Structure 1
Amino acid sequence: MPELPEVETIKNTLKRFVINKTIEKVSVYWPNIIKLPDDIEQFKFLLQKQMINDVHRKGKFLLFELDDYILVSHLRMEGKYHVFQKTEPIKKHTHVVFSFTNGQELRYNDVRKFGTMHLIPKGQEFKRKPLNQLGPDPFDEQFTFAYFYEKLQKTSRFIKAALLDQTIVAGLGNIYVDETLFKARVHPMKRAHQLTADEIKRIQQAAIAVLKEAIKLGGTTVRSYVNSQGDMGMFQQRLFVYGKEGQACHTCGTEIEKMKVAGRGTHICPICQKQD
């Protein structure tokens, strides 16, 4: 699943292709992707003649800023956006097509069909689902130490589970939680409310540092989210623990282990991240 750095990379790439493009019509081939409005014909009608003025990101969500609406898109497991000329054949698993007046199309492709789209009147996007349920982005001013400390003190869940909770902090997923906890030298099965202030501060700083580096390198899983962009995220070359089970820790040489925490595959160094 694309996490914050991948969605940020997708956002930055899309901005080069879709800003100032006007939607002529919309075709929906898999209606279940459209969550709001309930009426697919209304969804298509409301988008006609709307210009894409900007593309933003909140957590793992893409926000297409239109004249009168915000289109909130979640890619889930396999969602991808590509820009094509209208004359190019539509590929298998293409479920939503935004046709522009300039002869190009923005096409949403999703093998698993798990992605979602919500069309919300501008100004209401953070008052309604799904964005109103999100915690602050790690780069938001609201993601202060005081906020983070208070949230973690209120839950007895494993810190891994707490970091995956999008209502606490938005954008972190399995890859970057594992990398964050390794960098912070915290075991993923430590109870959140039992963490010291120093440990929480290390986690906060590590999360921001890991995400910034991943964004700089284009993420870990991005390959071709926009047509003609053959770029691949390079952060996988900087991973310390995720997917490294059986390999030597870069810091101490101990073999990286894999376990299940909060139902998710979790990678740790048993020496660098000792469990008290």
Structure 2
Amino acid sequence: MTQPQQADPDQIAFQQYRTLLFSVAYRILGTAADAEDLVQDAWLKWSAVDRSQVADPKAYLTRIVSNLAMGRLRSTRHQRETYFGPWLPEPILTGPDTADGVATADSVSMALLVVLETLSPLERAVFVLKEVFAFSYAEIGEAVERSESAVRQAAHRAREHVQARRPRFTADRARQRDVTERFFAATTGGDINTLMELLSPDVTLWTDGGGKVRQAIEPVVGLETVARWFAALSTVTYQGIEPGQMRAEITWINGGPGVVFRGPDRVVATLTFDFDPEGRISTIHNVANPDKLHAVADGTRHELS
């Protein structure tokens, strides 16, 4: 009689923290594909380590992922700085549960990830570990291999930088969903008047085509300009796809309501939104670079911690 196969204790320990590791890596990097690669690299390192020397698996694995992520950021910094047009994070599908946790949803929002992109790799890792996951300064120091004093300084710089560029408002999730649905209906119906009601006076549209597809390489600013941009979508051919062939749906992206546009054979773009204190749309992030749409195209909904 065949004996039941025993579960690998190393794999059990790793799987226990896998969601945490992806969540840390994605927030530090802003790219789902790289975050998944780093989680796999962490598994390889974890498999090779002498477990008797590991007192705290969670801390050890977080240290591995944090350092891998900082190294990846340093190696890609030039590539991002010379990127064609605005560089936006890679969108991921999330579930309503993520949106229900306001702090978690905000920490993975496209708007915050864009701000984090302006931090140094160390500042970004420290901010994520402290502000999102509430690690102590001592724990972060071990994770990023810096002194506690250096970590405190980096955390202070990062927090001031983020607060100056990312004002936080009380998020009314129901209002956001309602505005997104009305925006979606107005866009598909070419209703410019409703669009102008839903958009903030100084609304800004950021588009990321990465030089792969045609997009605006400078932000599109202003109520009327942005409203006309979206009112025209239902009448123009986009990336070779006729209006009648384009499908669009509202779904959960990066912790909030967003829109996915699909052609007959591919995902062509995503929209995510930021809102002002009155609940109007203040910023729109449009990702159309096909290299950044794989995580959405494969349909996987990411659990985040």
Q: TM-score range by the shorter chain?
A: under 0.3
Structure number with higher relative contact order (C-alpha < 8 Å, ≥ 6 residues apart) = 2
Give the structure with the higher percent strand.
1
Give the structure with the higher percent helix.
2
TM-score, normalised to structure 1, is 0.28
TM-score, normalised to structure 2, is 0.26
